[in-house]
Amino acid sequence: MDKHRRPKILWSIKADDTLQLWPSADSECALTAPFLPAHLVNTPKFPQITAPSHAAAGFLEKEGISAAAFSTHSKSYYSERVNKKFSTIMYTISGSARAEFGGNVKILKAGSCFLSAKSANTKLRVNNRWEVLWFHFKDSPLSCAMFGCESKLFESKNFKEILWLAQSYRDKVYSKSLNRRALEALAVLIRESIACDFPPPPKGEIIRRAAEDHVSAKNFAAKNKITVYELNKRSLSCTGQTFARLAKEALMKKARDFLTLGSPPCTVAKKLGYASIQSFSKAFKKEHGLSPSNFARLHREKL
């Protein structure tokens, strides 16, 4: 066999915000409705890719988990996401992978928990073989408050418990006789055990995360039963900045990220919700002292 022969890619996503390569040697046992295309799941041609029946799916979804699976990836697996729309939690069971996020390069090892946060930019490469238990969490105020917007890697305190619960859930969700009460209870325990790996942040961090998620000051204040004036006062006390200023900085950070990745200013303006390219350019220049196009040009020249 030719050692330099390229491995067969079974499935891929190639979009502006996602590049994912899924080799044919990889396997997946889904705990929810499958993330992979339906024609690859539960077929004689690909016995290593399975998902529970339609009737069995839905218990984890009720707990805010949109997708979950036990996956084993080979060296050719690759995943790159820009400005993610959801948070992903990955528990490494065996083997290792390399994660690039926030300017860092970290190795995911057995017993570790990696949070690939919503809105983050993340790259994943497998060193040789990587067995992982992963969960996609729906974008919601609860998941945003729990996980925030910064990716991080740490040793899980609840790894063994979460692994046991997920294995128990897998055994029952694939069983011919469906025990709904047991699955509902296990789904709750899985979500609660994951939450234990992410203790509530300080009040200042909650305010900062809300601003980064573009929650309006009016809505956030109303939810917490305070006035916008009181919100800004608390924000200044906890973070040293007003809520509006925090939101502006988060928006401009996203703008810089998009521009450095090569997105045209008109596309960035649209993605960030500006009414026109002119209003975006004016806001960007006020913040940085130069236009979006000049910022992007200077970045290209530095490369």
Structural element, H or E, at residue 123: strand 122-137
Q: 136-164: string of b/e by CB count within 10 Å (b at 16+)?
A: bbbbeeebbbbbbbebbbeebebbeebbe
Q: Give the 3-state secondary structure of residue 155.
A: strand
Domains (range + CATH), the chain = 9-196 (2.60.120.280), 203-302 (1.10.10.60)
**Mean pLDDT of successive 10-residue stretches along the chain, which has 303 residues:** 65 90 96 93 96 84 95 95 91 97 93 92 94 94 78 93 97 92 96 89 78 85 80 85 90 91 91 91 92 89 73
Find, among 177, 233, 161, the residue nearest to 204 by Cα: 233
